[in-house]
Chains A and B, each alone.
Chain A
Amino acid sequence: QVQLVQSGAEVKKPGASVKVSCKTSGYTFTNYYMHWVRQAPGQGLEWVGIINPSGGSTSYAQKFQGRVTMTRDKSTSTVYMELSSLRSEDTAVYYCARGGGGTSADFHYWGQGTLVTVSS
Chain B
Amino acid sequence: DIQMTQSPSSLSASVGDRVTITCRASQSISSYLNWYQQKPGKAPKILIYATSSLQGGVPSRFSGSGSGTDFTLTISSLQPEDFATYYCQQSYSTPYTFGQGTNLEIK
The chain A residues found within 8 Å of chain B, CB to CB, are 35, 44-47, 50, 59, 61-63, 95, 99-100, 104-108, 110-113
Q: A44-B100, A44-B101, A95-B43 are in contact. Are A104 and B94 (CB under 8 A)?
A: no
Q: How large is the interface on B (under 10, 10 to 19, 20 to 34, 35 or more residues)?
A: 20 to 34
* Residues in B lying within 8 Å of A, measured CB to CB: 1, 34, 36, 43-46, 49-50, 55, 87, 89, 91, 94-101
B34 near A107 with CB under 8 A, answer yes
A-B contact count (CB 8 A): 54
Interface contact A61-B99, CB-CB below 8 Å: no
Closest 10 CB pairs of A and B: A105-B91, A110-B43, A106-B49, A61-B95, A45-B98, A47-B96, A106-B34, A105-B96, A44-B101, A47-B95
Residues of B within 8 A of A47 (CB): 94-98
Q: A106-B49, A107-B46, A113-B43 are in contact. Are A45 and B94 (CB under 8 A)?
A: no
With beta carbons under 8 angstroms apart, the residue of A63, A95, A108, A112 that contacts B46 is A108
User: Which of B46, B94, B101 is in CB contact (< 8 Å) with A106?
Assistant: B46
Of all chain B residues, the one with the shortest Cβ separation from A106 is B49
Minimum CB–CB distance from B101 to chain A (whole Å) comes to 5
- CB neighbours of A99 from chain B (8 A): 91
A44 touches B50 (CB 8 A): no
In the complex, the chain B residue whose C-beta lies closest to that of A35 is: B96
Contacts of B43 in A (CB 8 A): 95, 110-113
**CB distance A44 to B87 under 8 Å?**
yes
Is B95's CB under 8 angstroms from A107's CB? no
Given contacts A107-B34, A107-B46, A108-B46, contact A50 B91 (CB under 8 A): no
For residue A95, which residues in chain B have a CB less than 8 angstroms away from its CB?
43-44
Q: Evaluate contact between B87 and A45: CB separation under 8 angstroms.
A: yes
Contact of B94 with A61 in the complex, beta carbons under 8 Å: yes
